[in-house]
Amino acid sequence: MTYSAAQNLKNHLYLEVGKVVFGMEETLHGLVIAWIANGHVLLEGVPGLGKTLLAKSFAQLMHGSFGRVQGTADLMPSDLTGLHIFNPEKNGFEFVPGPLFNDVVLVDEINRTGPKTQSALLQAMEENLITLDRKSYPLAESFFLIASQNPFDFEGVYPLLESQLDRFLVRLTLSYPDVATEISVLSQYDKPGGGHATAVQQLQALPGSILQSARTEAAAVHIEEALYRYTILLAEASRNHPRISLGLSTRGALSIMRCARVEAALAGRDYLIPDDIKNVAPLVVGHRLLLTSEAMLEGYTALQIFREIEAQVAVPRTGDSY
C-alpha cells in the first residue's frame, strides 16, 4: 500500500512520539493537523500530563531548537521576544533574541501571564516576526508555538483575550490517562531524574522534505464551492445563535478549511468531503465561540451549542462523483 506524504508524516510521528508519550493519539492527530496547516496549538489541561515532553519530542522530530517559557504573573514581553543590551566593547546595543526565536516553543501556563505579555505573542503568531524598537526580526521558518493553559477554575489565571485565542489554529484538551496508560508512564519514567532528555534524544527526525510535501498535498486538495458555502453557513449560524455573544470569525472559518484540507490529505484523498469539516470543526471552534452569561450559568459549553448548530445546517451533497 502506498501512503501519501501526509500519511507518512503522521505514521512516523505516531511511531516516534509514541516511544516517549503514551495515550495521546487524539492529541497527536490534532498536532499533526496544526503542524501541516502551519498553525499554532493551544493545549488545555492540568499540570503534569506531559505537555513539555510532547513539545520537546516535536522539536527533536523537526531536528530543530526548542524553547520553553514558564508563564508567571510577572513575566514581561521581553522575556518572550528578547531585548537590546548595550555592548560596551562595540559601544552600541545588540539584540539578544528571546525563546520565541526557536523552531518549537512551549509557553507553559500561558494564562498565568498578564494581558500585556499575552499580546506580545500576537505578531509572532500572525506574521512570524517580532518588531522591537521599530526594527523587525524574522522568526524561524518552521516556527511552531504550543501554548498550554490551566482550566479556568484554577486560581491566579487570566483568561486569554479573544483576539489572542483567535490566533490559535486549534485547541486540544488533555485529560487524565486511563489506568493502563498511566502504568506505562510510571514504569518508563519512575527512575531517578525521569530520563526525559535521554528518551527524546533517541527519536529519529523526520526526513527533510516530508513536511513540505505534506503541505503541498494539503494545498492541492480540491474543494467544491458548496463546501465553502457550508462552512460559511455554520459561521453565520453561530453569529446569530441566541446563546452565543461572539460567533465564529472569518479567520475561524478559514481555519476550519485549512484543517479540513489536512484531514483529507491524512485520509489519502485529494478532494474534500463534508465529514472532513465535521471532524476538524471541534478543534477550531471550541475556543473561538464566546457564550452569553446566561448560557454559561445554564452549564452549556461552546462545543455543545456548535453541535446543535451543526445539526441544523444542511450538509451539501458533494463528492458523489469521486
Q: Which of 172, 207, 242 is the last residue of a domain?
A: 207
Among the residues of 18-147, which ranges form H helices? Answer: 25-36, 51-61, 78-81, 115-127
- The model's pLDDT over 205-255, given as tens digits with 9 standing for 90+, comes to 888 789 999 999 999 999 999 999 999 999 999 999 999 999 999 999 999
- 9: domain range? 5-207
For residue 322, is it within any domain? no
For residue 198, is it within any domain? yes
Q: What is the pLDDT of residue 321?
A: 41
- The model's pLDDT over 163-193, given as tens digits with 9 standing for 90+, comes to 888 889 999 988 888 899 999 888 888 877 6
Q: What is the pTM of this model?
A: 0.89
53 shares a domain with 109: yes
Q: Taking a C-beta distance cutoff of 8 angstroms, is the pair 258, 237 a contact?
A: no
Q: Taking a C-beta distance cutoff of 8 angstroms, is the pair 10, 266 a contact?
A: yes
92 shares a domain with 115: yes
Q: How far apart are CA 219 and CA 304, in angstroms?
A: 31
For residue 142, is it within any domain? yes
**Strands 129-132 and 135-138, how do they pair?**
antiparallel
26 shares a domain with 116: yes
Residue with C-alpha cell 498536532? 31
109 shares a domain with 191: yes
Tally of domains within the chain: 2
CB proximity list for 284: less than 8 A, separation 6 or greater: 169, 170, 252, 255, 256, 259
Beta bridge partners, 198, equal: none
55 shares a domain with 192: yes
CATH at 233: 1.10.8.80
For residue 318, is it within any domain? no
187 shares a domain with 79: yes
